[in-house]
Structure 1
Amino acid sequence: MDLSQICLNKSTCNKFGNIRKVTSKPTAMTNEVIQSSHEDGTFDYDLAVIGGGSGGLACAKEAVNQGAKVAVLDFVTASPQGTKWGLGGTCVNVGCIPKKLMHQAALLGESIHEAVAYGWQVPDVNKIKIDWAALTESVQNHIKSVNWVTRVDLRDKKIEYINGLGEFKDPHTIVATLKNGSKKELTAKNIVIAVGGRPHYPDIPGAKEYCISSDDIFSLGYPPGKTLVVGAGYIGLECAGFLNSLGYSATVLVRSVPLRGFDQQMAAAVTSEMEQKGVTFHHRTVPLSVEKLDNGQLKARWLNTETQQQSEDVFDTVLLATGRYALTKALNLEAAGVTCLSENGKIVAATEQTNVAHIYAVGDVLEGRPELTPVAIHAGRLLARRVFAGAPHHMDYENVATTIFTPLEYGCVGLSEEAATERYGADNIEVYHAYYKPTEFFIPQRNIRNCYLKAVALRAAPQRILGLHFVGPVAGEIIQGFAAAVKCGITMEQLMSTVGIHPTVAEEFTRLNITKRSGQDPNPASCCS
């Protein structure tokens, strides 16, 4: 039986969310939750998800597990350079997955050169170079396999997949524009907006005509060559890092500070390492224009906002990483009565519920939430359990761990030193820190000056840890385990009483004992000190 047909049963109505008539039409932004009803009280689906990325798919699959009838709408509009991709959203196609594979390729290149010092006989190591076409083919083959598995999974779970661009007709009706231009209309009792975002293009001459973004780099049909990266957020630094390590000269324009929102001491360590590896940084600069030359190269001009000096250089590729915007404009949210939008078009919803009771949002489209795939997945699953199973649990957006996959990785969880100082006051926090020597950096002798970690804690005993930060090898793998400890309220007393695994870089957290306040030297005397 169609679940929508048994809604007159009171217990079922409570399970799937009560619906009442609209009492008034919203005319301005409001946080008031509005209840609404379809005319005859029946719907094609219990849940429709607009957006086939990680958060939307997780919500859809969990809803099916709870007995709901579900449809997923997903459509990828081509980038200005014509790049498109399949089902799965940003992470799978043009985000986390291809980025990590490119990062791994870069690390392998470094390892080949270091292998000689360990005794491996590598003939003509100086002639080793990356085959860009082979790399991108391997990456894209993996992505396509994930696209296929995702579609099969939806079919197996009997989730209807609609390859169409969805928009609201009314609070319960969605119109999908299909690839051939035809329209498909459907109704749903509950709707989840999970459309994510796309790269922002600065309003300068030549930006959309000649530049690429992270939407394009992982399937670029030619070696990028000498590359200018505009922007120093995590996407810009990660791309500049792996391009440089793959042998393509990289230059980064930094508008204000690198890795805005992250601990700035750690950000400085990341950029310092990148500079020592050959990446060029131009600080306090904004792009002015990009011009295509007769030989196909690109002339980029930029302005130093402090000195007002203009500079220019010629590149083979210009990659824009100047932020992302939410894809809400195309949704016709006015027709649904959704008004809880921020100035930049993101949805403001404290518990994923918008001002319209049956319309929700998860993932990058939400204002003030971490733009991270695991966050969207977890929030989507919890939302489905609340809506369709009456579960009480909400997403906890505090203490979410993340990692920047730059050549020397940066992993963190919790508050930065700046944020902790602002929240609790400088006199009420204690910062433990240390430089360390990874054993794997001894042969050959690699630069260790940026291998650094710190714990930000409350000063009062037992010194609950507010944030952990680590720059070094496999930072993502290390910070994941400590993230669980921070989530459980670990203190410095507990951390310092933990016995580390030697010789690992992760054990350095268990050896923290020097505070910044003490003024002592945080450099180790030896690997075992």
Structure 2
Amino acid sequence: MAFDYDLFVIGGGSGGVRAARVAAQGGARVALAEVDRYGGTCVIRGCVPKKLMVFASEYPGHIEDAQSYGWTAHSGGFDWPAFKTKLHAELDRLEGVYRKILGSNGVETFDQRARLRDAHTVELADGRSVTAKHILVATGGRPVKPDLPGAEDGITSNDIFHLDDLPRSMLIIGGGYIACEFAGILNGLGVQVTQFYRGAQILRGFDEEARGLIAEEMINNGVDLHLGTNILGMEPAEGGWRIKATNGTEQVFDKVMFATGRAPNTADMGLEEAGVKLGRKGEVIVDEYSQTGVPSVYAIGDVTDRVNLTPVAIREGMAFVETVFNGNPTPVDHELIPTAVFTQPEFGTVGLSEEEAREREPVDIYCTSFKPMQQSFAGRSDRVLMKLVVSRATDKVLGCHIVAPGAGEMIQMVGIAVKMGATKTDFDRTVAVHPTMSEEVVTMKEPVRGG
């Protein structure tokens, strides 16, 4: 059977665009459909605009510190409309880059929704159907709101970048990285931030000691964090929304933001009808090669709910092309992925948490917490954390956790060593770069505890 395309990609985010481009560069006939904006969650409504907002929110602290270093520096008010205008201009530029990448590599694009009709047929929103030898689903995920009275009037992370004005007060519900990052951002921009999380500690799944320090520092920075707390519902009130909390309190906030989880974009995609299995959350079930139970259909990125990170989606896209178009079966490697959480303070992590490692084997924990020189000189009480989790049997560094300014930059470098299987002895043999915060990673000589 002759197909219209060798590959049809549904979804123009980072993973889908990379797979389409690389396959097309290898000579494949490729098409891609995107219903919204090219660049996906990361570029348009996630990592990129969020990180620019993190930068913006940190300037009041920088200006305060400058005075401690002898500078005459004063901060005026934050001009949200001016920042927002520049932010959206940058997102427009990046979307243009993504479109150009596809066009210059001969990928045909359809700016509309696409769904599966069968294992080799894609149906477009305008009624057209096209056939493809291989179909790649890369539709990503979306934020979801809880089933609570009034929740439809709350906002999500998608809406933050489009607010006409910054609210005076905001309640953020959730304790994952999105909730915690936006709590820090909005607090830094002058919004009175309250955060409710139903669990015992924020950032579930990460190292407990790191989570504890981040929570403490967020509170010290002015975030009104309430753990073990959820909302029962919200209703309109003068000045915003009245919130009833599970702890019995009632309060009015200008805005309420839900950061209570994300769901894969698989609704009404024709996947199950075509024979593709979906999981409990609606995620596409795939094997280690990103292949579904239907041989011609593959899926990558957040829609598979494996490791929901942009660089992982990109690597999954590359492995898919290697496997399907280059004749080189390449399983996706999801082990030892370095991650940064842009909370304030920032958090970088790779490998096992102390708790995970203890469940597997005997370990030694090397850990130090201190006031960094730059902030200490400025009179701040900020603390940082450096932690290594080491196998007692092999001396291998199983995990590294850093809570500090620039932790994301540091963990990228440490991630290389950990991925290579570096031992604590290798770290000890490395000469410290002085004076830096990161030198502590190679100067911790005695474990603080074992287990």
- Normalised TM-score (structure 2): 0.97
Superposed CA offset, 1:98-117 (max 9, x none): 11000001112210111111
Which of 412, 419, 429 aligns to 1:497? It is 429
The answer to whether the aligner puts 1:63 opposite 2:23 as a matched pair is yes
Which of 163, 168, 184 aligns to 1:241? It is 184
1:447 is matched with which residue?
381
1:113 is matched with which residue?
64
Give secondary structure in 2 for the equivalent of 1:500.
coil
The answer to whether the aligner puts 1:510 opposite 2:442 as a matched pair is yes
2:292 is matched with which residue?
354
1:267 is matched with which residue?
211
Distance in 1 separating the partners of 2:373 and 2:335: 33
Deviation at 1:51, TM superposition (A): 0.8
1:34 is matched with which residue?
none
Deviation at 1:396, TM superposition (A): 0.7
Q: How does 1:458-473 map to 2 (within 5 A)?
A: 458-461=391-394, 463-473=395-405
Could you tell me which runs of 5 or more consecutive residues in structure 1 were left unpaired when the two chains were aligned.
1-40, 77-85, 304-308, 520-529
Superposed CA offset, 1:87-129 (max 9, x none): 110000110001100000111221011111111112xx3x632
Superposed CA offset, 1:468-509 (max 9, x none): 000001000000001011110000010011112111112110
Could you tell me which runs of 5 or more consecutive residues in structure 2 were left unpaired when the two chains were aligned.
none
Distance in 1 separating the partners of 2:240 and 2:377: 40
Deviation at 1:417, TM superposition (A): 1.0
Deviation at 1:164, TM superposition (A): 1.2
% identical equivalent positions: 40
Distance in 1 separating the partners of 2:298 and 2:222: 46
2:130 is matched with which residue?
186
Give secondary structure in 2 for the equivalent of 1:289.
strand
Q: How does 1:41-440 map to 2 (within 5 A)?
A: 41-76=1-36, 86-122=37-73, 125=74, 128-177=76-125, 182-208=126-152, 210-256=153-199, 257-293=201-237, 295-303=238-246, 309-339=247-277, 341-351=278-288, 352-367=290-305, 369-424=306-361, 428-440=362-374
Superposed CA offset, 1:122-145 (max 9, x none): 2xx3x6321111121121111111
Give secondary structure in 2 for the equivalent of 1:119.
coil
Pair 93,344 (structure 1): closer, same or farther in 2 beyond 3 Å:
same
Distance in 2 separating the partners of 1:297 and 1:492: 54
The question of whether the paired residues in 2 share the 8 Å contact of 1:347 and 1:354 is answered with yes
1:149 maps to a residue whose letter is V
Distance in 2 separating the partners of 1:130 and 1:429: 48
Deviation at 1:389, TM superposition (A): 0.7
Give secondary structure in 2 for the equivalent of 1:335.
coil
Give secondary structure in 1 for the equivalent of 2:433.
coil
The question of whether the paired residues in 1 share the 8 Å contact of 2:65 and 2:375 is answered with no
1:456 is matched with which residue?
389
1:82 is matched with which residue?
none
Deviation at 1:219, TM superposition (A): 2.0
Give secondary structure in 1 for the equivalent of 2:435.
coil
Give secondary structure in 1 for the equivalent of 2:232.
strand
Superposed CA offset, 1:254-284 (max 9, x none): 1113111111211111111000011011111
The question of whether the paired residues in 2 share the 8 Å contact of 1:457 and 1:465 is answered with yes
Distance in 2 separating the partners of 1:228 and 1:103: 18
Deviation at 1:176, TM superposition (A): 1.5
The question of whether the paired residues in 1 share the 8 Å contact of 2:38 and 2:95 is answered with yes
Distance in 2 separating the partners of 1:310 and 1:183: 53
The question of whether the paired residues in 2 share the 8 Å contact of 1:66 and 1:385 is answered with no
The 10-residue stretch of structure 1 (381-390 or 226-235) with the greater mean CA deviation from structure 2? 381-390
The question of whether the paired residues in 2 share the 8 Å contact of 1:251 and 1:281 is answered with yes
Deviation at 1:62, TM superposition (A): 1.0
Give secondary structure in 2 for the equivalent of 1:338.
coil
Distance in 1 separating the partners of 2:347 and 2:272: 41
The question of whether the paired residues in 2 share the 8 Å contact of 1:59 and 1:384 is answered with yes
Distance in 2 separating the partners of 1:147 and 1:213: 22
Distance in 1 separating the partners of 2:381 and 2:282: 44
Alignment: residue pair count: 449
Distance in 2 separating the partners of 1:111 and 1:288: 39
The question of whether the paired residues in 1 share the 8 Å contact of 2:347 and 2:402 is answered with yes
Give secondary structure in 1 for the equivalent of 2:161.
helix
Give secondary structure in 1 for the equivalent of 2:184.
helix
Distance in 2 separating the partners of 1:261 and 1:214: 21
2:444 maps to a residue whose letter is L
Give secondary structure in 1 for the equivalent of 2:272.
helix
1:488 is matched with which residue?
420
Distance in 2 separating the partners of 1:144 and 1:153: 14
Deviation at 1:296, TM superposition (A): 4.6
Give secondary structure in 2 for the equivalent of 1:334.
coil
- Normalised TM-score (structure 1): 0.83
Distance in 2 separating the partners of 1:501 and 1:89: 39
Superposed CA offset, 1:148-205 (max 9, x none): 111122111111111111111111111121xxxx322111110111111100110112
2:313 maps to a residue whose letter is A
Distance in 2 separating the partners of 1:506 and 1:392: 38
Deviation at 1:246, TM superposition (A): 1.1
